[in-house]
Amino acid sequence: MSDKLLNLTRRSFLGTAMGGAAALAAGQSFAASKTLNVLSHKVHQTVLGTGDGDLLKDWKSANDADVSWTTFDSNPLQDRLFREASLSSTDFNVGYMVDNRPTKQIAAMFEPLDAYLQKDAIEDFEDIAPGLVQGMTVDGKLIGIPVRHATQGLFYNEALLEEQGISAPPTTLEELAEQAQKLTFTSKAGTPVAGMVLASDLAVFPVMFARAFGGDFINAKFELLPNPEAMEKGLSVLRKMFENGALPRSYATTKNDDQVTWLQQGRAAFTVLPFARFAQLNNKEQSKFPGKIKAIEFPISADLKGKMPMSSIVEAWGMVIPANSKDKDLSWKFIKEVSSKSATLGMAKNGNGPVRVSTYADPAMSSNPVAAVEAAVLKNARGAFPPFPEAARAQSIFLEEVQLAVLGRKEVKEAVTSIATRVKPLLQA
């Protein structure tokens, strides 16, 4: 390269660099004076919108603040959040936490929010589903404000029910088992159909069956198997369904995504999934039965119907403030804004599971066919079990014993006794 061309190239570079610096400087003069750093999953950022659809646009202007997002997948996110909160200080102002994570030790690393609620209350806080608030309360202290949830419902293929002469979905657990048996057949299309498909690696499903009889795995008071007979009844129903083929022979290796595929393809008549899966299950490009896959509340047993509500399972995310963070007042203002009725509705339109019961009744939600039933279910929904240090190990033991019982390799009563014996020391620890 000639000296003349080299000098020209250098001048061009310097001119471009200086111009860029000037533009940056000019841009900074209009930049907000504060930055709120948020640690979350990408979905939490996405549902708040961008550009003209930015739900935080007015808030940013009013508070002279920008929001900087750092996002990870769920488990890496929780690990990073807890690591940041354990330091002497952190640059993150707000984090998003799953409700099955805050043990006493973890909760201690985050700011209690009760005083903030009293001083600068969130709009109609009682409108937020109580089960979600309970999931973010540890030792009587509120450490997170619910912002997103996935509540489980019973999905069914209406076309398959009609093919077998069933005019309506089940209203009791016993009816569910009976219909699942009748719907274990070969359809007119030549497809072998299982009455129900469930993943074997999630505690959601056996806990739901136990709750249908008034039982639980571990309740909010940390009582292990508060009603062992109810758990035995729930597992006995699952075992009978497996023995009769209403649960597929591949039950032991079935995963959550398999449930979606089986229902879309007409290979199963029933499954349990979050209501938010409704659109996917009826997607014309993916499903052989668009518009025919419906959802209802998971049914309670005939003996308890009308006597007590069914407590379906919900998993939720909450917004938390690390105790070692700075500018907690700004953090609270952000949480308060995101928790408002208008923001909750806006996020719901963008695909978020709204935590406010009233949001489902908004006219803007009228296009959501499952809004009303999801709202009703959410009122009584709660987590599969409360968080505690050995929760992961306890769940593994629980699922191991459940599989042995459902597959017929251990008597149901013996499996339930083993759950109690093996999990008890983990709760005490």
Left (φ > 0), alpha (ψ -120 to 50) or beta: where does 237 sit? alpha
Say which CATH architecture domain 34-150+313-378 belongs to: 3-Layer(aba) Sandwich (3.40)
**Angle subtended at Cα 182 by Cα 177 and Cα 183, rounded to the nearest 5 degrees:** 95
CATH number of 151-311+386-428: 3.40.190.10
Helices of type H across 155-203: 158-163, 173-182
pTM of the prediction? 0.80
CB 106 within 8 A of CB 70: no
Residue limits of CATH 3.40.190.10 in the chain: 34-150+313-378, 151-311+386-428
How do the pLDDT tens digits run along the chain, 429 residues long? Answer: 444 444 434 444 344 444 444 444 444 445 789 999 999 999 999 999 999 999 999 999 999 999 999 999 888 999 999 999 999 999 999 999 999 889 889 999 999 999 999 999 999 999 999 989 988 999 899 999 999 998 999 999 999 999 999 999 999 999 999 999 999 999 999 999 999 999 998 899 999 999 999 999 999 899 999 999 999 999 999 999 999 999 999 999 998 889 999 999 999 999 999 998 898 999 999 999 999 999 999 999 999 999 999 999 999 999 999 999 999 999 999 999 999 999 999 999 888 999 999 999 999 888 889 999 998 999 899 899 988 889 889 999 999 999 999 999 999 999 999 999 999 999 986
What whole-number distance in Å separates Cα of residue 392 and Cα of residue 338? Answer: 31
